[in-house]
Structure 1
Amino acid sequence: MTDQASGRRTARGSEHTDLLSQYGLGMALGEASPVGSMPRPAAPANAPAALQNLVALAVQLCNARYGAINVITEDEFHQIAAKGLEPLMCAREDSLCGQVFKYGHTVVVADCTEDPRFRSNPFVDGRFGAVRFYATTPLLTQDGVPLGTLCIFDEKPGNLTDQQAAGLETLAAQVVDVLDLQLRTRQLDATVSELQRSNELLGEFAGRISHDLRGPLTNVVGLAELAEDEPALQEGPAGTYFKRIGASALRMSSMVENLLGYSRVGGTAHLETVSLAEAVAAAVDDLGHHVDGVEITVGDFHGHADREQLRVLIQNLVANAVAYARPGVPSEVHITGTGIAEFWRLDVADNGKGIPPEEYDRVLEPLVRLGREGDPSGTGIGLATCVRIAQAHGGRLGFDQTPGGGLTVRVWFGSSPA
């Protein structure tokens, strides 16, 4: 073999090795057995149970005694699932499938002892076995790359009808579908892990940035307040300027806090059975004087939720209900939970201004505010934070109109709405 041809073979082998590793079949990539050495038990493949079922179905369909799903490399033959025998591994040259793998199509042999390709094979001539009837079909990826074979065999002569051969090929395609699903699952797991790592880094970055911003902003606010207390600075434009500086710094400080909160929630939810009344009490306690005089009622309910995230959710919704109260109308907020602990819905109903139905989707986006006359200042982060919390619990957030006027925010917890 020329150096150039050897290089091409090595490249093909490397590509096939990489492909097998992607499919989680890297257990077939160990040190190859010497040609002619006795087969040994196959290394654990951790193959899906569905593969074992497909092998059993192939054996039953073809009226054979044995069957196997095999991974074939440049040098090695490795059974990852088998029916009628324990999975084994051996040198590729010693295996039956290794001899016809290159054909890329179904091969049926009625009697291996009468076929010159196989009569001297150790699995036929008695050294490793006494196979007579044998049929195999390749496991081809969508790109036509062979991963291995699905084969059936017996110690007595036999044959396949056209229907049985077609069925064997269909089962081989199902084997590849199972392996593809396993591949996609592995890729998804890797993506999820990378996203979790990225979110953790983003949260740490947001925390550092917010800390760095809060220090200067606190100084600005403090200096503005000191300036406002100086009699010499109360008159003229300077007093107005300092008041505006202080107000702007306070608004920016509030936005930094809200953005930090938004970056921290919505990750993994640590579920436990939480009392809705206790979560509301904790949120109201955090809101302090902002809810003085507001009638807040809560129903008795226990549901599965992340305790801290549920508190943040209720705190944001109650704060919004109070902030967007109708002028001259005492604020009322009614909080209830319905459903079962695993799949439940939280309703927070107020009697305030409400939100026009055509704006329901838009207000859920970060930094979006309606900007109506008389509305308080804000950052537009609160509802977006609530959406992330709902999503972290496998649920969603939606709106409805409160009978008599106002807004009802509905939050579903769990993958099935309560």
Structure 2
Amino acid sequence: MTDQASLQKADRGSGHADLLSRYGLGVALGEVAPAGSLPQPAAASNAPAALQNLVALAVQLCNARYGAINVITEDEFHQIAALGLEPLMCARDDSLCGQVLKYGSTVVVEDCSEDVRFRANPFVDGRFGAVRFYATTPLLTTDGVPLGTLCIFDEEPGSLTGQQTAGLETLAAQVVDVLDLQLRTRQLDATISELQRSNELLGEFAGRISHDLRGPLTNVVGLAELAEDEPDLQEGPAGTYFKRIGASALRMSSMVENLLGYSRVGGAAHPETVSLAAVVQAAVDDLGHHVDGVRIHTEDFSASADREQLRVLIQNLVANAVAYARPGIPPEVRISGIATPGSWRLEVADNGKGIPPKDYDRVLEPLVRLDRDGDPSGTGIGLATCMRIAQAHGGRLAFARTPGGGLTVQVEFGPGPVG
């Protein structure tokens, strides 16, 4: 077949096969013998198990003996779910549904042996079967493309009431809904897989960039410190320049470390039962002299969380509480865990400057800092990292005002990890 009509038919067939594959039905397709050949057992399909229940409902509703959900291509007919018989496949030209699918609407035949359209069909005239009563309705996508049919049949003549016909069409719509759900699930799974792959690549990229930048920055800081120790370089503007170079390099190094931390945390969390007091102590130890003289009150609590991510979260929040203390007021931080119906909530309350409610959402964005007099320099990564950790645990992060002044950060931990 090389004429234009044959090429167009091949194109349509290929496009329809792609559509069936997207719906997860491509595995049902196989090599079918030519028209007139005996039907074969249907190839295994990935059709959802719920389809079998819909076939059973159709058979019961219509008082029939057999029922099937069929996938139909340009040349092939495949049953992907059936009741009363083993699913089979055959040439489209031999099937009843393959002949009436072109009508695009429900067809009800009381006795196929007396219908000129079907009495010579091999499933009617005795070669493959002796179908008499037959009813079918198309499975149409939202775009009106037929995927196949839902049919019921019997070896005795029969009929359908208007209510039964409407019920059969409703069940056909339910079949398409099930297939649509499977399609959306497959698409979502593919999107999640791609996002996971993207995050892994981002983490690897951040690690490489961090490694490549830390070496030169360390050299710059070291050379600037050596220059500051040379008396001949301290006179005039040179000394000021070297101090500025060293300070800028330190800020750049801090930003690189924070960006690397942001890229690494907030992925898949691996919760375990941990002592909140022990995790707080580990975070305080990491902060070292930065929290000297800071009053940190911790109520012990048995929590379910990723130990390392919880430590990073608490370390960031305590560091912020110290960095944004109110002038003349010694910083104080209270850390507690509270049981909730979903899981638990971490609260870190300080007595510092706080954050205006209008800026609550904005400060959770990466690289965003408030422009306030007296605030220390920073990267704007800490709170965004905390938000990612909360999301990795299936929870969220929120702010509230501490009674008497200050900021309370509330981190809700969900029932399990996400990612």
TM-score (norm 2): 0.95
- Contact 1:28/1:73 (8 A) holds in 2: no
- Contact 1:369/1:380 (8 A) holds in 2: yes
1: CA distance between counterparts of 2:339 and 2:126? Answer: 68
- Structure 1 residue 170 displacement after superposition: 1.6
Q: 1:303-323: CA deviations, max 9, x gaps?
A: 332222111111111111111
Per the alignment, residue 301 of structure 1 pairs with 301
Per the alignment, residue 44 of structure 2 pairs with 44
Q: Name the aligned partner's letter for residue 359 of structure 1.
A: D
Per the alignment, residue 316 of structure 2 pairs with 316
1:181 aligned onto 2:181: yes
- Contact 1:282/1:311 (8 A) holds in 2: yes
2: CA distance between counterparts of 1:272 and 1:17? Answer: 47
The root-mean-square deviation of aligned C-alpha atoms, in Å, is 1.7
1: CA distance between counterparts of 2:330 and 2:130? Answer: 91
- Contact 1:303/1:342 (8 A) holds in 2: no
- Structure 1 residue 104 displacement after superposition: 1.3
Per the alignment, residue 76 of structure 2 pairs with 76
- Structure 1 residue 242 displacement after superposition: 0.8
Q: 1:246-301: CA deviations, max 9, x gaps?
A: 11110111011111111112222223333322222221121111112222222232
Pairing 1:242-257 to 2, within 5 Å after superposition: 242-257=242-257
- Structure 1 residue 37 displacement after superposition: 3.1
Q: 1:92-132: CA deviations, max 9, x gaps?
A: 22221112112211111001111122222222233332221
Per the alignment, residue 390 of structure 1 pairs with 390
Please, which runs of 5 or more residues in structure 1 have no aligned partner? Answer: none
Per the alignment, residue 172 of structure 2 pairs with 172
Please, which runs of 5 or more residues in structure 2 have no aligned partner? Answer: none
2: CA distance between counterparts of 1:7 and 1:167? Answer: 39
1: CA distance between counterparts of 2:332 and 2:85? Answer: 73
Aligned CA distance change for structure 1 residues 67 and 202 (closer, same or farther; 3 Å): same
Q: How many residues align?
A: 416
2: CA distance between counterparts of 1:90 and 1:2? Answer: 25
Q: 1:311-369: CA deviations, max 9, x gaps?
A: 11111111111111122222221111222596221111111111111211111111111
Per the alignment, residue 278 of structure 2 pairs with 278
Q: Name the aligned partner's letter for residue 118 of structure 2.
A: F
- Structure 1 residue 49 displacement after superposition: 2.6
- Contact 1:304/1:342 (8 A) holds in 2: no
- Structure 1 residue 219 displacement after superposition: 0.8
2: CA distance between counterparts of 1:171 and 1:5? Answer: 36
Per the alignment, residue 232 of structure 1 pairs with 232
Q: Name the aligned partner's letter for residue 50 of structure 1.
A: A
- Structure 1 residue 386 displacement after superposition: 0.8
- Contact 1:303/1:340 (8 A) holds in 2: no
Per the alignment, residue 363 of structure 2 pairs with 363
- Contact 1:295/1:331 (8 A) holds in 2: yes
- Contact 2:336/2:348 (8 A) holds in 1: yes
1: CA distance between counterparts of 2:26 and 2:356? Answer: 57
Per the alignment, residue 110 of structure 1 pairs with 110
1: CA distance between counterparts of 2:98 and 2:230? Answer: 93
1: CA distance between counterparts of 2:22 and 2:34? Answer: 26
2: CA distance between counterparts of 1:310 and 1:44? Answer: 47
- Contact 1:55/1:68 (8 A) holds in 2: yes
Per the alignment, residue 263 of structure 2 pairs with 263
2: CA distance between counterparts of 1:282 and 1:262? Answer: 19
Aligned CA distance change for structure 1 residues 278 and 125 (closer, same or farther; 3 Å): farther
Secondary structure of the corresponding residue to residue 380 of structure 1: coil
Secondary structure of the corresponding residue to residue 149 of structure 1: strand
Aligned CA distance change for structure 1 residues 357 and 42 (closer, same or farther; 3 Å): same
- Contact 2:66/2:83 (8 A) holds in 1: yes
- Contact 1:303/1:341 (8 A) holds in 2: no
Q: Name the aligned partner's letter for residue 397 of structure 2.
A: L
Q: Name the aligned partner's letter for residue 247 of structure 2.
A: A
1:349 aligned onto 2:378: no
Q: 1:167-226: CA deviations, max 9, x gaps?
A: 211211111111111111111111111111111111111111111111111111111100
Per the alignment, residue 374 of structure 1 pairs with 374
Alignment identity in percent?
A: 84
- Structure 1 residue 12 displacement after superposition: 0.7
Secondary structure of the corresponding residue to residue 124 of structure 2: coil
- Contact 1:302/1:341 (8 A) holds in 2: no
1: CA distance between counterparts of 2:19 and 2:34? Answer: 24
Aligned CA distance change for structure 1 residues 247 and 168 (closer, same or farther; 3 Å): same
Secondary structure of the corresponding residue to residue 152 of structure 2: strand
Q: Name the aligned partner's letter for residue 169 of structure 1.
A: E
Q: 1:359-390: CA deviations, max 9, x gaps?
A: 11111111111122221111111001111111
Aligned CA distance change for structure 1 residues 275 and 341 (closer, same or farther; 3 Å): farther
Secondary structure of the corresponding residue to residue 374 of structure 1: coil
2: CA distance between counterparts of 1:340 and 1:43? Answer: 51
Per the alignment, residue 13 of structure 2 pairs with 13
- Contact 2:27/2:46 (8 A) holds in 1: no
1: CA distance between counterparts of 2:187 and 2:146? Answer: 20
- Contact 2:29/2:78 (8 A) holds in 1: no
TM-score (norm 1): 0.95
Per the alignment, residue 203 of structure 2 pairs with 203
- Contact 1:111/1:158 (8 A) holds in 2: yes
